[in-house]
Amino acid sequence: MHRLEEIWITLSVGLLLVFMLIIGYQTFALGMGPPSHKETIDPQEVDETEPFDDPGVKETGDNEYEIVMTMQAFQFTPGDIEIPAGAEVTFTLATKDVTHGFQVAGTNINAMVMPGHVQKITHTFDEPGEFLILCNEYCGIGHQMMSTTITVT
Ligand SMILES: [Cu+2]
């Protein structure tokens, strides 16, 4: 083998090993996991577990809302949400089956909702309008139909 080939092969394999070591360190030593509030839930019992036994829009303070939402193939419960402009909204999300995505187009809300984990995101909707909520993790045959809206009035 050519001397230069040997050098390149050694460098490439060396780089791969370094990357794998970094990922291994992050996973095991730093405990890398889903970026949630570290709340877990039994994915089989979502409908029976607080607060997901009563999904919906809840007023929690002065122009503050919590939207408790469950996700399953291929829908968001509740759907077609309405909130007033300027409201600070905390989405509390859990999935009843597979991993789903939660993206609100036109905002920077974008989260993965994994079975067994409660996902929370807070966002203030300053501008009135209709925003599209969609699932951006492929979740099955009806994935492309999985969407709803949030209307800010
Ligand atoms: Cu989905």
Q: Is the pLDDT of residue 145 over 90?
A: yes
Residue 135 located in a structural domain = yes
Q: Are residues 135 and 82 in the same domain?
A: yes
Instruction: Please list the residues that pair with 69 across neighbouring strands.
Output: 93
Q: How many CA atoms lie within 13 A of 5 on its CB side?
A: 2
* pLDDT level of residue 38 (50, 70, 90 thresholds): confident
Domain of residue 136, residue span: 43-152
Residue 27 located in a structural domain = yes
Both tokens assigned to 60: 């929690």
Q: Are residues 21 and 60 in the same domain?
A: no
Q: Is the pLDDT of residue 132 over 60?
A: yes
> pLDDT, tens digit, for every residue of 10-32?
999 999 999 999 989 888 887 76
Q: Is the pLDDT of residue 41 over 60?
A: yes
Q: Are residues 6 and 69 in the same domain?
A: no
Residues 93 and 99: beta-carbon distance below 8 Å = no
Residues 131 and 67: beta-carbon distance below 8 Å = no
Q: How far is the CA of 21 from the centre of ligand 1 (A)?
A: 33
Residue 67 located in a structural domain = yes
Q: Are residues 29 and 102 in the same domain?
A: no
Q: Are residues 68 and 87 in the same domain?
A: yes
Q: Are residues 105 and 47 in the same domain?
A: yes
Q: How far is the CA of 24 from the centre of ligand 1 (A)?
A: 29
Residue 38 located in a structural domain = no
Residues 6+ apart with CB under 8 A from 115: 43, 95, 97, 98, 99
Q: Are residues 117 and 148 in the same domain?
A: yes
Q: How far is the CA of 146 from the centre of ligand 1 (A)?
A: 6
Q: How far is the CA of 22 from the centre of ligand 1 (A)?
A: 31
Residue 105 located in a structural domain = yes
Q: How many CA atoms lie within 13 A of 108 on its CB side?
A: 3
Q: What's the pLDDT at 27? A: 81
Q: How far is the CA of 88 from the centre of ligand 1 (A)?
A: 25
Mean predicted confidence (pLDDT) in 133-145: 94
Amino acid at residue number 35: P
Q: How far is the CA of 127 from the centre of ligand 1 (A)?
A: 27
Q: Are residues 133 and 95 in the same domain?
A: yes
Q: Are residues 84 and 142 in the same domain?
A: yes
Residue 70 located in a structural domain = yes
**Which residues crowd ion ligand 1, with CB under 5 Å?**
100, 135, 139, 146
Q: Are residues 53 and 26 in the same domain?
A: no
What is the tally of structural domains in the chain?
A: 2
> pLDDT, tens digit, for every residue of 64-93?
999 999 999 999 999 999 999 999 999 999
